[in-house]
Amino acid sequence: MIDEKGLRTDGRRPNELRPIKMEVGVLSNADGSAYIEQGKSKVLAAVYGPRELHPRHLALPDRAILRCRYHMAPFSVEERKSPAPSRREIELSKVIREALEPAIFLEKFPRTSIDIFIEVLQADGGTRCAGTTAAALALADAGIPMRDLVAACAAGKVDGVLVLDLNDIEDKEGEADMPVSYMPNLGLISLLQMDGSLTFEEFKQVLNLALEGCKQIYKLQKEALKAKYVAIKEEVETCLQS
């Protein structure tokens, strides 16, 4: 998994992220949306709300409820995945919701719901993190007031080496995988899971590596949001000139 030059299966150095592309406002029928490509993983997020809640008995008098569905398309993995929600998808929907919840001013929208749909189009490891990153962008794109963006990234251990942003094979063959989500402005970690085993020293180093990755992703998120408004501004200016 690590060659004699210290490089990984896809040629990356241990502390290097995969190439990342992000775009905001990609779906016209959702209130907010975003698309992310992180290496070979491709994930789409759509947000609706705040909107009237059905069934109504779920409504809370003092805040909005946040609902999240993480779903893998049947064609997203090598072996066709059943479209029905698996145990893993139910778990990921819950942890992603909890990762995003502290970022949103839910108390501003009592008796409503905010709904997030995450569709994994192609999976090559790290999809819960890519899904969280895209969902935070889609929430911002929907104009939902937020305390901070949420950036997510995994780090772990492969062949005895601590590495950032594991791909599928590194996730499966490696010794440990730790997905983390982080809100840099608030200094708040909202997701921390771990698969495998690490010493306490390694744990601290892997956590720091993941946080560094989150900070780089956070910068890309802000650029993606700005890019949308630059495009709108240019469109308006062209309209005004003609």
What residue ranges bind ligand UDP (CB under 6 A)? 77, 81, 88, 123-128, 168, 171, 179
Q: What are phi and psi of 48, to 5 degrees?
A: -120, 140
Torsion of CA 157, 81, 19, 227, to 10 degrees: -130
Residue 100's closest CA among 69, 76, 124? 69
CB of 203 to ligand UDP, least distance (A): 18
Q: 91 vs 15, 45, 72, 88, 148, CA distance in Å?
A: 28, 17, 13, 5, 24
- Note the Cα 100 to chain centre separation in Å: 9
Rounded distance between C-alpha atoms, residue 18 and residue 62, angstroms: 41
Residue showing tokens 């779903």: 71
Q: Which is nearer to ligand UDP, 137 or 142 (CB)?
A: 137
Q: Which is nearer to ligand UDP, 14 or 85 (CB)?
A: 85
CB of 71 to ligand UDP, least distance (A): 11
CB of 91 to ligand UDP, least distance (A): 9
Rounded distance between C-alpha atoms, residue 55 and residue 211, angstroms: 38
- The separation between the first and the last C-alpha atoms of the chain, rounded to the nearest angstrom, is 57
CB of 177 to ligand UDP, least distance (A): 6
CB of 116 to ligand UDP, least distance (A): 16
Q: Which is nearer to ligand UDP, 24 or 166 (CB)?
A: 166
Rounded distance between C-alpha atoms, residue 24 and residue 143, angstroms: 12
Q: Which is nearer to ligand UDP, 130 or 142 (CB)?
A: 130
CB of 10 to ligand UDP, least distance (A): 14
Q: Which is nearer to ligand UDP, 47 or 180 (CB)?
A: 180
Q: Which is nearer to ligand UDP, 169 or 227 (CB)?
A: 169
